[in-house]
C-alpha cells in the first residue's frame, strides 16, 4: 500500500550496483487538477519518487487508486502526495467525480 505523507526534504534511494552503493535522489512528479481533469492524466515515475497532486479547481477532489493503494483527499487549493513504493501501472480516479481518471506508471530501474 502507498502512503500519503508530507515530505519536508528530499528522499534518497540506495541501490546496490556491483558491490557499490549508489545514492539516487528521488524526484517529484506534479499533477495539477483544473477544469475537472488531472493534468497530465498519465505520468511515469520510479520507485521512491513522489507524486504530488495540486487542486487548482473550484471544487474538492480525490486521487484514489483503483487498486486500493492510496486515497488522497484534495480540498480546493490543497495538495497531497504519495511516495511510490512498488513498480507497476496504477489507475486512479476522483471518487467524487469518477469520470476524472489518471494513470501512474512506476518503473523499478
What confidence tens digit (pLDDT) does each residue in 35-64 have? 999 999 999 999 999 999 999 999 999 999
The CATH number of the domain where 98 resides is what? 2.60.40.420
Supply the pLDDT for residue 12: 42
Query: Does residue 49 belong to any structural domain of this protein?
Result: yes
Query: Does residue 79 belong to any structural domain of this protein?
Result: yes
Give the structural domain span for 44: 27-107
Query: Does residue 21 belong to any structural domain of this protein?
Result: no
Query: Does residue 5 belong to any structural domain of this protein?
Result: no
Query: Does residue 72 belong to any structural domain of this protein?
Result: yes
Query: Does residue 47 belong to any structural domain of this protein?
Result: yes
Please say whether the beta carbons of 92 and 29 come within 8 A.
Answer: no
Query: Does residue 10 belong to any structural domain of this protein?
Result: no
Distance, CA of 77 to CA of 43 (rounded, Å): 21
pLDDT surpasses 70 at 17: no
Number of domains in the chain: 1
Mean predicted lDDT score pLDDT of the chain: 86
Query: Does residue 12 belong to any structural domain of this protein?
Result: no
Distance, CA of 19 to CA of 41 (rounded, Å): 39
Amino acid at each position: 500500500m502507498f502512503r500519503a505523507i508530507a515530505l519536508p526534504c528530499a528522499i534518497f534511494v540506495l541501490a546496490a550496483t556491483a558491490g557499490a552503493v549508489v545514492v539516487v535522489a528521488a524526484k517529484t512528479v506534479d499533477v495539477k487538477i483544473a477544469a475537472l481533469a488531472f493534468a497530465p492524466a498519465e505520468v511515469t515515475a520510479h520507485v521512491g519518487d513522489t507524486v504530488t497532486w495540486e487542486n487548482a479547481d473550484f471544487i474538492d477532489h480525490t486521487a484514489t487508486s483503483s487498486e486500493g493503494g492510496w486515497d488522497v483527499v484534495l480540498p480546493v487549493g490543497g495538495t497531497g502526495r504519495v511516495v511510490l513504493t512498488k513498480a507497476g501501472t496504477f489507475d486512479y480516479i476522483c471518487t467524487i467525480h469518477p469520470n476524472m481518471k489518471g494513470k501512474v506508471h512506476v518503473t523499478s530501474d
